[in-house]
Structure 1
């Protein structure tokens, strides 16, 4: 199911999902490490604790959502473009009737 060098998601008591890379597979579980640090985790992850596997990633998508979750970011990335689209459509409707 999971292999060496797979990225996997772990569920912990927290509501945050953690992504680590499998560096060793044992009968007891998986040894993992984060990609941002060289140290291997000092605990084993059991198979039931794994909730998924990373198949691909979209660069900077997380940054977009992090910015969009702030009030200024939401206004800049969602509200202003929505107003512009509505204004353009209203202009097109008025121009179509004339």
Structure 2
């Protein structure tokens, strides 16, 4: 089992990935493949990172934080794909 500091670092990295527009699935795959973390541990890391986003939304006093968090992830993923393709129109098509 990873030490607490390593887990915190991974959660922060996953949080950053989600805010950069990576999907939860992409973040799980990244940790499983690149960091040598089991798939179930990767899912837990990403869930904790997603919980941080929900906490941020909750502090803004927004209802239905789960849906808002999902919408944020989808919009960020769309923007990331559009920027990667150097095609801002791709955001609208995604």
Q: By percentage of residues, which structure has more helix?
A: 2
Higher relative contact order (CA 8 A, sep 6+): 2
Task: Provide TM-score, normalisation by structure 1.
Answer: 0.26
Higher strand fraction (1 or 2): 1
Q: So what's the TM-score if we normalise by structure 2?
A: 0.27
Bigger Rg, structure 1 or 2: 1
